[in-house]
Structure 1
Amino acid sequence: MSPRVLVVDDEELLGKALARAFQIDGWESETSNGAAAALRVLGAGPPFDAVIVDFLMPDMHGTEVLRWLAAHHPRTKRFLMTAQLDFAREASADGLAHAVFQKPFANVLDLPKTVRPFLPCE
């Protein structure tokens, strides 16, 4: 069974590009264009194996999504992406994020290979 990932970013083109990179790597992927929409998706279906969330979005910070995930789906691997590393390091240090990825990405195709080792062995 393919791992499932949810990509959450208010920049629709980037979200779609990241989701496509995961599909190329054999993942099932979905996108959400904001934190509130992501919480609806996360609350409505089975848990994802990984969720990658942008830090700064108009409706709420990505850390709120990570906090919800930690409480409701603690086995889901949580990742934060941002251009503002100072704030994001706190989320990683607090255990909210398993890793933080700096935007912009040099190559979006590398991201699935970076996330996969965090998953349990298949």
Structure 2
Amino acid sequence: MQRYILIIDDEPRNIFALVAVLKSKGYRCLTANGAAEGLKILQTREDIGIILMDMMMPDMDGYEAMSWIRNEKSLADVPIIAVTAQAMVGDREKCLNAGANAYISKPIDVDALEDLLKRFLRIYDN
């Protein structure tokens, strides 16, 4: 079974660009327009292989969402890549300490993202 990439971001243009690039490379994507919607998807789907989590969202940010995911027994092992425009000293460590498996800054280097996906995403062919 091929797993989905769940993209959680509050900016539709970011979602559109990521989905376009990832689908062109053969990945299957689901999207959520914010953390609350993303958490609902995670509660109802068992085929999510990895999460691309925007860190700066209104209402619930990526840090809070990652904490919730890591505290859910059934979701605790799903890899999360923190995606953020914040690229200051210490931001990477803050994301990793909050529960991310990896960190990538915006604008996204597609080759670096694909390397991370290959490292963390397990794709099962039928």
Same fold (TM over 0.5): yes
Normalising to structure 2: TM-score of the pair?
A: 0.81
Runs of 4 or more, structure 1, over 4 Å off, are: none
Q: 5+ residue gaps in structure 2?
A: none
Change (3 A) 1:113 1:59: same
For residues 36 and 121 of structure 1, the distance between their equivalents in structure 2, rounded to whole angstroms, comes to 26
The corresponding residue for 1:111 is 113
User: What is the aligned-residue RMSD (CA, Å)?
Assistant: 2.1
Partner of 2:13: 13
By how many angstroms is 1:88 displaced? 4.4
Aligned residues: 120
Of 78, 81, 84, the match for 1:82: 84
SS in 2 for 1:57: coil
Return the match for 1:91 from 89, 92, 95.
Answer: 95
Residues 64-83 of structure 1 correspond to what in structure 2 (within 5 A)? 64-72=64-72, 73-83=75-85
> Cα deviations across residues 39-62 of structure 1 (Å, max 9, x unaligned)?
111112215110011111011110
TM-aligned CA deviation for residue 71 of structure 1:
2.2
Give the Cα separation in 1 of the matches to 2:2 and 2:18: 16
Match of 1:100 among 82, 92, 103: 103
Unaligned runs of 5+ in 1: none
Partner AA of 1:75 in structure 2: D
Counterpart of 2:53? 53
1:36 and 1:120 mapped to 2: Cα distance?
Answer: 25
TM-score (norm 1): 0.84
Q: Distance in 1 between matches of 2:114 and 2:19?
A: 9
Structure 1: distance between partners of 2:16 and 2:23: 10
Task: Provide the rounded CA distance (Å) in 2 between the counterparts of 1:82 and 1:24.
Answer: 22
State the 1:25 CA deviation: 2.0
Identity %: 28
